[in-house]
Amino acid sequence: MSAKKTRVQTPPAARAGDASDLMQALIGTRPAATAVAETPLHGVLVGVLHDFDDAGRPRIVVPGHIGVPRVARAICVLGPGQEGQQCALLFEEGDLTRPLIMGVLQEPVITIHALGATTTTQEAESFTVEAERAIELRCGKASLRLSSDGRIELRGSTVVSHATGLNRMRGASIKLN
């Protein structure tokens, strides 16, 4: 029986580099710059959209995990003006070096569906709704109706009026009970 000689070829990546490149090529690991965190992160983390780099790619930070802005990929449309907003993040294969922006967290928004001539305006600290005839808010047994003739109707099973200062009731005439 004759012994067969086996030739071992050095992988191309290892020929040009040092011993660590050879070791990585032989055992199939990633370079240290893209190594997976020891404990993969699964689930959604909330981070902050920090800014955009020169190529227009979003950069994020995650308090307690990523302190230096890191480029991320996004599945949603992002643009100028969203910097500083919180965003939902996942990490590909749990790897902190591969963030994926799922979306920007939204602030509570009031949506009004109205028929006819209605306008809404929102300024820094106020929200205005205008209608030609009336505006009515309802919740269960309670309602508030504002009419164009100046009439205000406040209805409920119990109506409470509370003031830390003077609680004044004024009118041409006041009818109690």
Q: Domains of the chain by range and CATH?
A: 37-104 (2.40.50.140), 118-155 (no CATH)
Predicted confidence (pLDDT) per residue in 4-63, tens digit:
554 544 444 444 455 556 555 555 554 444 444 457 788 899 999 999 999 999 999 998
Q: What is the pLDDT, as a whole number, of residue 113?
A: 62
pTM of the model: 0.44
Q: How far apart are CA 126 and CA 21, in angstroms?
A: 62
Q: How far apart are CA 177 and CA 161, in angstroms?
A: 16
Predicted confidence (pLDDT) per residue in 71-128, tens digit:
999 999 998 889 999 999 999 999 989 999 999 998 766 666 666 666 666 666 677 7
Instruction: Look at residues 139, 65, 132 and name the one whose alpha carbon lies nearest to residue 99.
Output: 65
Mean pLDDT score, 147-152: 92
Residue matched to tokens 């227009």: 56
